[in-house]
Amino acid sequence: MEQTGKRGFFTGVVKVACVVAAVYAAMVAVGKFVAKRCKELEEKNAGQKNKRYLAVMNGHVVKISEPVEEISIRAYLGGVTLDLTEAELEQDTQINITGLMSGVVIKVPPMVRVELQGTNILSGFANMVPNYETEDLPVITVYAESVMSGIAVQMVPEKEQ
């Protein structure tokens, strides 16, 4: 009787180990696919005014120092820091964010207006940029749709850039 109990225990352990190995292999495969997709997006962004970024279960730091008109960010269980302090901003720049359990921080230079719009579910939006009333400043409009995410826009003083 003890022989059957031990055999059943070890059979269960082997089954659990196989399931864990299969889940791990699937996560590695998905991770490689996502990394490849992120790299493809990065390569397509070079020299373009419209840029796209993807973060899935990882972090991504983006520093733009070329002309930009529109940026799309998709973050799922990950984070993106977007630094626009050296970017050549159009008069109207648009940033579209889709987030699921993620965080996005956007750093902007002084003397820009930021408008933050969107739909959030259990999320937080923070616009920490002073509200300049001057008409001729570049306007950055952030459209965000997020679930359980945090999105912050902050100004970086010139001395910190």
Q: What is the pLDDT along the chain (161 residues), one digit of tens a residue?
A: 455 566 778 888 889 999 999 998 988 888 888 888 877 877 888 888 889 988 888 888 999 998 999 999 999 988 999 999 999 888 899 999 999 999 999 999 998 999 999 999 999 999 999 887 777 888 999 999 999 999 999 999 876 55
Q: Which residues on neighbouring strands pair with residue 156, listed in sequence order? A: none
Distance from C-alpha of 125 to C-alpha of 150, rounded to nearest angstrom: 6
pTM: 0.79
Two structure tokens written together for 114: 């930021």
What the block records as the tokens of 53 is 């970024």
Number of Cβ within 10 Å of residue 35's Cβ equals 12
Are 151 and 129 in contact, with CB atoms under 8 Å apart?
no
